[in-house]
Structures are given as C-alpha cells and as structure tokens.
Structure 1
Amino acid sequence: MPKGKASTGTYIVEVAPLSKSSLIGNLSYFSTTKLLPGTLVKVLLRNSLSLAVVLNSKSAYSAKSEIRRAGFALKKISEKNVLPAGFHPAFMKGVMETSVYYAMQPGLLLYSMVPKMLLESPEQFFKNSEQSKDNGKAELKTKETFFVQMEVDERFGQYRALIRQAFARQASVLFIVPTHYDAIKARENLSQGIEPYVHVFTLKEKKGDAKKMWEEARTKEHPVLFITTPAGITFDRPDLDTLILERENSRVYRTLARPFIHYKVLAEKICKETGRQLVLGDSILSIESLWKEKSGEYGELSLIRWRLPSAPTKLVDVSSRPDQRGKFEIFSPELKSLIHKALEEKERIFLFGARKGLAPTTVCGDCGFVLPCLNCGAPVVLHKKNNENNIYICHACGTRRESHTVCGYCGSWKLVPLGIGIERIAAEARELFHEAKVHILDKDHAPSDVTARKIIHNFREKGGILVGTELAFFHLEKIPYTALVSADALFSIPDFNINERIFYLVSRIREMTQNESIIQTRNIGKQILAWSAQGNIIDFYLNEVGERKSLLYPPFSIFIKVELISLKSKESLVRAKGALLEWQPESYKDSIILRIPRDKWPDKDLVRTLSLLGPEFSIKVDPESIL
C-alpha cells in the first residue's frame, strides 16, 4: 500500500507470525480481501515468506489516519499467499485470550500448540470447513464446565456414558490425557463397541501414521472419539462439541519451556469461546478446580466423591527407630514385613521415593553449609556412578562434579548426605532381600519412553521390587502392595502448594494399590498424612483453602514469576523491578514475584509492561512453584 494512502476496497490485516521467537510480535499488512480471524497466510518477513495467522481485518478507509501516522508502506498479502486453511474465529479468540493471560505473543503460543509436522501441509490438516462459513459471527453459547472426581474405574464409566450421548446427537469428542501411555489405556477403556470411530494421536507414532490418523479422524463422516495428549489440542471438526481433560491435576499439563502455560487454562478458554462442553476429571481435582466448584463457578457432572475408597493404608512412625549400630533404618520393621509378605506370595511391590539419586542434599557437618552447584547455585544431588565413586549432579542445569570435594564455605571435608533418594532405597532393598529382583524407574534410569516400558515389562513379568519416582505413575496400573518410603523430603520444600502435592502423591499411591500400602514418616503428627491415608479429601480441602485464603495464595491470587535467565545481566533485574513498582514486586534469588488478586488479572497495563522487559527474562504466570 502506498505510504499514507487507503481505498475503500483495501483492508488492514493484523497477523501473528507462527514463530518460536518471543521477540516477533503482531504485524500489519494490507489485502484487497477481508480475511477472517484464524485464516492462515504467508507473509513477507525478513525477505522470506513465513506462515502467519490472521488476528483481525478492518477497512483501510476507516483506518486511514492510523495509516498516515505509521509513516511506512504496508506490505501486501497477495491472494496466492492466502491459504485455504485455518482455525475457526472462535477458536482463535480462545487462543488470543490465553496469550493475554500468559503475557505472550499469540504467534508463539499457536506455534507451540500445533504439531510441526502438520504445519508442513496446513492446507491438508487445517483445511477450512463448513463451520467457517458463518464468518465467525454465529452466536456460540458458553456451556458450564463440569467436574468428575472419583476413582479411575468409576470415572471412565462416566466418560463412556458421555461419549455415547455425544454420538447419539451426532457429535464428536476430544479426549485429552497427559501422556502416550495414558492414551493407550484410555483407548482400551473407552473403545468397546465404537472401535472404528476411535483415533489415537500422541506424536509417538511414526510420522506418516500420525498424519494419516489425524486426517482420517478429521474427515470421517461418523462422529469420532479423538484421544490425544496436549499435542492434539488443535484438532477440530464441525461436529466437535465436547472436550474431556483427564487427570486434570497432572503436572504434565504444565509446559517446562517457553511458552510457559497450563493446558487446562487453554482448554477452558477455547471451550468458553467455541461453545464446547468442557469436562475435567481426576481422582483428586486440583485445589483451584475444587474451589471453583464450591464457589458455584463450575458444576458437578455427577456427585463428587469427597472420600476415596482405596486399599488400607498404614502410617508408620520412623522418627526414633535406630538399628543395632545406632543408625536410622530406611526400612521399618513394618515395611520389611510387607516386602517379605509380597515376595512370599510372589506378588509385586512398588516402593515410591520422592527424590532421585542417593541423597537429595549434602551439608557440611561443621558449618551447616548446603553444597551447591558451582554453575547455577542449586543444591546438588549425590548419585551412584556405576561401580566407581559417587558423583554430584545438579538437576537444575546438569553440571557434574566428583564427590571427593570440600565445603565451599569453610573448607571442611566433613560432608554429610541427607535425605533418602531412590538409589539408596534400591541399594537397601538389594542388601536386605538378596533373592528379589530390584528394578529402578526414574528419568536417569529411563530417559526414554521405550526404556521405561521395558523396565515395566520386566517388573510385570519377573516380579520383585520396583523403586521409582513419579514417572512410575504414568506406567503402572494396579499393584498388590505399595509403600511411600519417606514422605519427609517433600515437607522440606517451602512452596505454597506443597501440601496439595503431597496429598495428591499419597492418593495416587493408594489408588494404584490392590491389597495394602504403607507410608513411612518422621512427621507422624502431620494431619495431611492422616487425611491422605484415609482418602479424606473434604477435610484436607477445607483446611488448605482456609490457609491459602488467609495468606492470599492461589486460588485467591495469581502469582507471576519474572526470572532472570542470564546471570551476567543482574542490573536488568534492578531495572525490571523498577518498571514493576506499581504492582509491589518482591525479590527472591534471581526472580521477581508479583501477587495479583485473581479478579484483577489479566491487567492490561501489567501485561504490556511484562512484554517490554526483554528476552533476558522468562515470565511465568500462575506457576506451579515460586522457588
């Protein structure tokens, strides 16, 4: 468009380039055609064509004063670069709301949501459908979000009924689970009688098979059940009217790298704008979700279970039980008895450890200094290095160093490992039960899904003892006997949601237990352990919400963590804190913490300020942890 000129047949088009860069914001072009929000186009960016999504179009004539003030000529989107593909305008509105909520560029968010192999041929996998012919103006009535809180077998019974009802009204269902393994189990539990209409997409399939599965599910005449991980959240059909988010309380729904989002929030906003029914399910829903149900914001699909009937769980006090040499035992007499019982019955037993390695923390016996990583300052974890000497590994940045070292503060050699890691648990199990096969399942021993499945297969076939972290939850089904070897390491984490995490972990262990479970602790007086051992959700919830309300913790506020990525530019932290003074920032290590009342977020001025801080900062809205 010539500089400063506009005509009635010309439109200003705002687009979001689909890019992994947080520096590329929304851009303006002109077109002789009015383009719908969600339309995919190719735009000239840095002398090459890049894929972008249309956010809005408006008449250039009505915006001529803005064009005149711009002072530069807009580039044109030619008709050949307008693809016959895109997303429904209502879906795009949900994406836009999510990007504002997380203070990020919509192009970055959408780029992270869409599987890259599908972006190679968007005309095939995101082809414009009949639903876009309404120009995005059709009235889409928002449906109430429903919760399902009950044990897994009963919960999947509810899901099967929902899917049958959807098929009866000629509607499709999008079923999202945390992991590939969950997707396989969901197909086994949900496909009876509807096998031809069930499709699973997790990105674990071969590329060609995954593309074929997506396209078959998208084009099939009959309604479908599309089971997927968060990788398939952009799947769409004209008849899709229900989204079920299973294991709503799973940490997997939080991304670990930019963009930092929670897929539950994305699902909520998409369903709100598209008029889809959202169902959130878990054995124990998150505190935030339960609070929304109690406050009347969301509803129950069926009566919420506030007490879960699972296998008998016994709390064992190990606070004062040294062995004959005066050392505290890792396995109490009760746990040894349970393991003996399992092995005599030739049954399997799962021993849960909260931390990897031999010892999660090492302190100086003379001055109390916690041994840190020499690279990033985080506490290092002691690991066993094959049959050689032990080694310290930083789980924050991966830096390694030999265990023969001294205190960095006073120079003492008296370094004392503290805590119980799963390698120490496994070593103790091998020493006490020589004949038993001991398996270990954590990210160190199973860096890939294939390795994890192999470990689980061996455990299932050969039996014995499995020692594992939370990773085991995604691969295990019902186990005859289980034990939480030490709950105490979790209590040492001074985070606002640690009680919720402990309650959820213990409850998951109870849920997977068929016969009997044990929880060992030196904090026997902690009421949270008694509630979790009993499956008493209501008392835990009321106590936790009461404490959070008094401290203005989530869900009564939103935490925003602004973290400095490069430690070399600490002056940037001072500058950022100055820019955020209006919102009363608090400093913690190399981070800035903001606490915003829930009803005040998103705050447009704060979103704008955060977006201007620069690439040396990562911004996490409503993070799992503020440490």
Structure 2
Amino acid sequence: MFIVHVTPIAKGGLEQLSYFSPQDFTVGSVIHVPLRKKEIPALVHKVEDARAIKALLKTNLYETRKIRKQKELHVFSSEFVRAAHATAEYYATSIGIVIQSYVPSAILKDAEESNPTKRKLRSIEGKGFEKLSLQLSRKDRIEKYKTIIRSNFARGGSLFLCVPTVREARVLYEEYHKKGIEKYTFLLESSQSPKKQKETWNAILDETHPVLIIATPVFASIPRDDISMFILENEMSSAYKQQARPRADARILLEYLAQEMRSALVYAGTTVSLKVHKEMESGFVRELEEHTLKLRTSSKTHIIDAKTARTLAKERKKEFPVLTNESIEALKECSSNNEHSFVFAARRGIASHTVCNDCNTTVTCMHCKSPVVLHKRGESRELLCHRCGTSRDAHETCMQCNSWDLVPLGIGIERIEEYIRLHIPEAPLLVLTSDTATTPAKAKKITDSFYATEGAILIGTEMTLPYITKAVSCSVMSSIDSLLCIPDFRIEERIFAIIAAVKERSRKHVYIETSSVDNQMLKYAQTGSLSEYAQDELTLRKKMHYPPYTHLIKMTFNGTRALVIENMQKFVELTQEYNPREFAGFIPRGPHLELHALIRTKTSSWPDVKLTSILKALPSSGSVDVDPERML
C-alpha cells in the first residue's frame, strides 16, 4: 500500500490531501480522488510507502480514505507544473486552484483520451529564456509577427500567441489562418464548444510540424515542448488578470512558464505597460525592435473643452450638449462624405449614476450597494447594477428622503446614441457593447454591417476596439472624464492606452472631449509622446512608492460586522512587521460588510515566504489580491 499526497484541482483552494492507494503513481500525474460525495481530479506531488510511515499513520486523528485503482493521466508538462507552483506562491494560493484556472475543463475531463506529455518533439536550436518588448502599432505588429513566425518555424519552433479576450483571439486568427500557414495555425478560446476545444487541442499535439497557437490564457497549459516563443498580445489589457479567486495574472504565469521552457517571452502592444518600461530601464527586458519615441499615426488629435460648452449651455438654458458642436459637425461631415466614424463611450447605459437632487444621496443597488446605472429597455427605463447584475424599475423615490427628484448624471452610451440620432438623423447608426453583442459572432455582424454601410457611425465602448480592423475617417472620444475620476493610480495609464488605440484606428481626426484640458497625460496622448509619458509617470510612481517599484497586497474580509472586525484584528497582529494599512470604513456588500487592508512590499522581496504562509492560512471569509487592479 502507498500513501499518495495530492493537491485537488478545484476552486476550493485546498493545499494537500492524503489517501491510501493500492498502486504507485508518478509524481506530476493526474488522478481522481474522492472528496466529500464526488470524485475530483488531483495532482500527485508525493508518494510514500505506507509501511515506512506506519507509526505516523496511527497517530492520525482522522481516517485516511482509499482511492480506487485507475490509470494515471499525463495532462501537464513538468514545466507547466513548476510554473503553476511558482504562480501559486506569488498569489499566496494553492497550486490546484491555479491549475484549475489555466486548464479547460473539457480537456481535463477527457484527458484519458490522449497521453500528450509522452511524445517529445525535436529540440530547438538557440532556444533560451529572455524577455523582449515590441511596442508597435497594430498594423506593424501584425506584419512583424509574420516575420517572427517564419523565423521560428525555420528553426523548428512553435509560437503561443496569447490574447486577453475571445474577441481579440478571433480577430487575430482571421489575420493568419489564410496566409499560407493555415494548416499549422490553430485557434483555442473559451466560447468554442467542448468538442471543438478537444479536437483542436489534440490536433495541435498530433502535429509534428511547428504550429502557431492563437489562444486565450486558459489554454496556456498545452504541452507542446517545442514552443520557442510566447507572445503577450495587447500586454496592457487588464483582462489578463482574473477578477475572481485566485486573482492570478496570466502575464505572471507565462513569464514563469517561458522561464521553465527556456523560451522567449514578448510583451507586445501599441503601448506596453509601465512595468515593462521599468524593466527595460533595468536591463531585464530587451527591445525586440527599437521603440518609436512617438506614436506613428496619420490622424490629428484635438482636445475639446467640454466644460466651457456645457457651462455656456446651462447659462443660456439650452439643451445639455452630450457632444460638443465641434464633434457633431465632424461626424456630420464624415457621414455626408460617405466616410465611417467612431464614437467612444466610457460607460454603458444612459447615465453612469443617479443622485437625489434634494438630499444628494446616490441611488445604489439593493443587493451589493454599488451605484446603479440607468438603462433604456424598450419604452421603459431600469436601474441596472453592473457589479452583481440585478435590475429594477427606474420609477422610484429616494430611499433616504422619499423625494421624486432623482437626477441621472454622467454620459452613458445610450445617452450618446439618443443625442446623435436627434442631431444627425440622416446618419446610419450602430451600437456595439456587451448589451447589444453578447457573443463575438454578434459583434462581428455589427461591425461588418458598419463597414458595409456608407457614412455609418459606430458607437462603442473599449470592447469595440479589436473589431475596428479598418481605419475610420474620424473618431470622437466622449465622457473621458468619467474614467479620469476613478480613484486608481493606474487609470491614466489605461486611458493613455485607449487613446493610442483609437488614434491608430483613425485616418484624419480624433476629438477628445474633456473638462480637464490641462491634464498632462492628455497632452502627451495628443502629441503621441509615448516615451515622455512613460518616463514622467515612472518618475512619479517611484516617488510615491507605487507599482512597478513596489508590490501591493490587498486583504479583504467579508461577513458580519463582528466577524470582520475580529478577522481584521487577527490579520493586523499576524502581519504587524509588514506594516499593514487598514482602510477606514466598512463597505456594504449585500447583507454583509467588507473591510480592506493594504500591505506594501519591495519588488525584490516578493514572494515573501513568511507572509505568503500567513495569507494562505487565513479563513475563507478573507480574500487576497496581489497586485490589485485598484486599491479602493
């Protein structure tokens, strides 16, 4: 008999379980073990002879369960397991939950159909780990990738081109699957059926020729040992980081994986993150191609003072100008000349929030207490929570003072649509958001219709940008201020990237409407000064001890007031040497409350073994977020 120590590949985050087994298993293989009333997959990480630890087993306070005889599965490469372990340490979680996050359930479920890690491909000459940066316009990147693909194929190396979202994966796949390498180009993304995922996965593993894999992060575990380069396309995207536990970031996992496989890792995008810029300064990242100091676009950028236009309209008691006259006239001219134009909106809905005009109370979700967004649904209006998805009829009084005087504030995409239809009624108008396009196929249908219609105007949020594959004549960026007011030290970096993406998709003009015309970041974006913006922002971040010069670890406790206070006090006591900063005030979350704390560490000292062990041992009511997208 043997004692098999495993880590469940499941969301529970259990670190280790032990079982009796009549057979020996290979470390790193996957087996199925009983847990509660069902069987789940688990990773074997240690096997001991039961006779050798007989005395120790007698001291157990609980009965060790048995597992059935079974065929062990070789689903992962040893390099991926080591990378997943390093990622788990980085995010203070279990290796099981990390693996579960980056292995499709369809592949894990039917792993017995193949034994992929037993097949070895020929070694790649000159293969070695290094980190590279590629900051080019989208058009230039696509051309550069062709050269990279040919070069790696010639050396016998495959490429893993990782994209943050399904829509970006599909758009990029269209660029390459008919370029003479369609036989060796494969697409893997989560909206595919389980059957399609398994067929593509097995086809990739069966192909002896080098391949190009275009995939979302969940497929990073595919065991092709000839991958000589990983490319992180649109490296700036926040979609690489998970919003739910374990809140891991695929960029970190792929860095560890590339290191284990001795492959190159390329950070690519129209703009790359400040973290990459900082690593280039330190010599840890090399430019794959010399970065341009300025963004190369043919469009001219105009910053429009929206505050003056709206103040003037208020004084003259005229209609609130959702878009300024300059923007409306530019859109009219494009439409009359049968040219295409794009209007960027930061928010969905009619208004981003609603307040009581009598007591200034913000209308919030009854479930999670987040501000609700006013939406139009047919002839009626509803208040929708973008956090938890609950909705209710908009015809209500103030919860605080019972007043009917509720005022919608902010500019949402539905409000922009109504305004354009009113002022440019002759222009064909299409809207692309997650509300109007619930699948990539529907989104493509909308953009295909847009390009097929002369003089059409497309209104969309950030999700629209990957679908704008052909440049429009002019673009208008509305409601930028609703992003600038977000209390997040990374928000200007994100806005700069969005503006850069809009500029490279516009041939003639880009109009940015804002009340903050003196904002230095907007001035850099207007001139396309990529390097100057990065240098100034890094100087500020270093002075303020913000990432990428430090790591932030956010701790959140949820529950009743008494439980949250008790857990937070214990956490502060345990981590006293790390100087945790407790956030003032509770945040309502449905029937419970949330309380946050923040720890700042040096980049050179993370992961900290002592601190990660404390974080792993915290109760389930607490959640850890390493390198959070937002501090608040």
TM value normalised by structure 1: 0.90
> Quick one: structure 1 residues 423 and 577, their matched pair in 2 at CA, closer, same or farther if it must change by over 3 Å?
farther
> Quick one: structure 1 residues 39 and 157, their matched pair in 2 at CA, closer, same or farther if it must change by over 3 Å?
same
Q: Which amino acid aligns with 1:605?
A: K
Please show how residues 28-177 of structure 1 align to structure 2 within 5 Å.
Answer: 28-29=18-19, 35-46=25-36, 48-57=38-47, 70=60, 74=64, 80-131=69-120, 143-177=129-163
For residue 405 of structure 1, the aligned residue among 396, 404, 425 is 396
Per the TM alignment, residue 473 of structure 1 is displaced from its structure 2 partner at its CA by 1.4
Distance 2:154 2:23 in 1: 40
Please show how residues 383-462 of structure 1 align to structure 2 within 5 Å.
Answer: 383-388=375-380, 390-462=381-453
For residue 505 of structure 1, the aligned residue among 495, 498, 504 is 498
CA RMSD across the alignment: 2.7
> Quick one: structure 1 residues 524 and 132, their matched pair in 2 at CA, closer, same or farther if it must change by over 3 Å?
same
For residue 625 of structure 1, the aligned residue among 609, 612, 630 is 630
Residues 98-107 or 358-367, more deviating: 358-367
Determine if contact 1:593/1:626 at 8 Å carries over to the other structure.
no
Q: Which amino acid aligns with 1:43?
A: V
> Quick one: structure 1 residues 48 and 205, their matched pair in 2 at CA, closer, same or farther if it must change by over 3 Å?
closer
Q: State the 4+ residue runs in structure 1 displaced beyond 4 angstroms.
A: 30-36, 57-78, 130-134
Per the TM alignment, residue 182 of structure 1 is displaced from its structure 2 partner at its CA by 2.3
The aligned residue for residue 315 of structure 1 is 303
For residue 356 of structure 1, the aligned residue among 348, 366, 369 is 348
> Quick one: structure 1 residues 147 and 400, their matched pair in 2 at CA, closer, same or farther if it must change by over 3 Å?
same
The aligned residue for residue 304 of structure 1 is 291
Per the TM alignment, residue 190 of structure 1 is displaced from its structure 2 partner at its CA by 3.5
Please show how residues 570-581 of structure 1 align to structure 2 within 5 Å.
Answer: 571-581=563-573
Residues 193-202 or 279-288, more deviating: 193-202
Per the TM alignment, residue 282 of structure 1 is displaced from its structure 2 partner at its CA by 0.6
For residue 280 of structure 1, the aligned residue among 253, 264, 267 is 267
Distance 2:436 2:183 in 1: 37
For residue 519 of structure 1, the aligned residue among 509, 512, 524 is 512
Determine if contact 1:382/1:417 at 8 Å carries over to the other structure.
yes
> Quick one: structure 1 residues 247 and 421, their matched pair in 2 at CA, closer, same or farther if it must change by over 3 Å?
same
The aligned residue for residue 345 of structure 1 is 337
Determine if contact 2:582/2:596 at 8 Å carries over to the other structure.
yes
1:300-336 CA-to-partner distances (Å, cap 9, x unmatched) read: 1111223111121111112212345344422222112
> Quick one: structure 1 residues 556 and 30, their matched pair in 2 at CA, closer, same or farther if it must change by over 3 Å?
farther
Distance 2:236 2:51 in 1: 50
Q: Which amino acid aligns with 1:592?
A: H
Q: Which amino acid aligns with 1:357?
A: G
The aligned residue for residue 234 of structure 2 is 247
Query: Percent identical across equivalent pairs?
Result: 31
Per the TM alignment, residue 563 of structure 1 is displaced from its structure 2 partner at its CA by 2.7
For residue 597 of structure 2, the aligned residue among 593, 600, 605 is 593
> Within the alignment, does 1:204 sit opposite 2:191 as a pair?
yes
Q: Which amino acid aligns with 2:138?
A: V
Structure 1 unaligned blocks of 5 or more: 2-9, 135-139
Distance 1:46 1:223 in 2: 43
Please show how residues 358-373 of structure 1 align to structure 2 within 5 Å.
Answer: 358-373=350-365
Q: Which amino acid aligns with 1:401?
A: R
1:435-485 CA-to-partner distances (Å, cap 9, x unmatched) read: 112222212222333332232222222242211111211322222221102
Per the TM alignment, residue 605 of structure 1 is displaced from its structure 2 partner at its CA by 2.6
1:474-532 CA-to-partner distances (Å, cap 9, x unmatched) read: 32222222110221111111112111111111111112112221111111111111111
1:14-71 CA-to-partner distances (Å, cap 9, x unmatched) read: 311122223x331234668765442112234336543211224467788778656656
Determine if contact 1:40/1:82 at 8 Å carries over to the other structure.
no
Q: Which amino acid aligns with 1:98?
A: T
> Within the alignment, does 1:379 sit opposite 2:368 as a pair?
no
Per the TM alignment, residue 143 of structure 1 is displaced from its structure 2 partner at its CA by 1.1
Q: Which amino acid aligns with 2:522?
A: L
Q: Which amino acid aligns with 2:293?
A: W
Q: Which amino acid aligns with 1:613?
A: L
> Quick one: structure 1 residues 374 and 84, their matched pair in 2 at CA, closer, same or farther if it must change by over 3 Å?
closer
> Quick one: structure 1 residues 132 and 451, their matched pair in 2 at CA, closer, same or farther if it must change by over 3 Å?
closer
Per the TM alignment, residue 73 of structure 1 is displaced from its structure 2 partner at its CA by 6.2
The aligned residue for residue 590 of structure 2 is none
> Quick one: structure 1 residues 59 and 242, their matched pair in 2 at CA, closer, same or farther if it must change by over 3 Å?
farther
> Quick one: structure 1 residues 133 and 18, their matched pair in 2 at CA, closer, same or farther if it must change by over 3 Å?
farther
Q: How many aligned residue pairs are there?
A: 609
Determine if contact 2:127/2:228 at 8 Å carries over to the other structure.
no
Distance 2:81 2:61 in 1: 30
What SS is found at the alignment partner of 1:308? coil
Per the TM alignment, residue 238 of structure 1 is displaced from its structure 2 partner at its CA by 2.9
Residues 516-525 or 193-202, more deviating: 193-202
Residues 163-172 or 62-71, more deviating: 62-71
Distance 1:470 1:606 in 2: 37
Distance 1:57 1:519 in 2: 62
> Within the alignment, does 1:184 sit opposite 2:170 as a pair?
yes
Determine if contact 1:440/1:467 at 8 Å carries over to the other structure.
yes
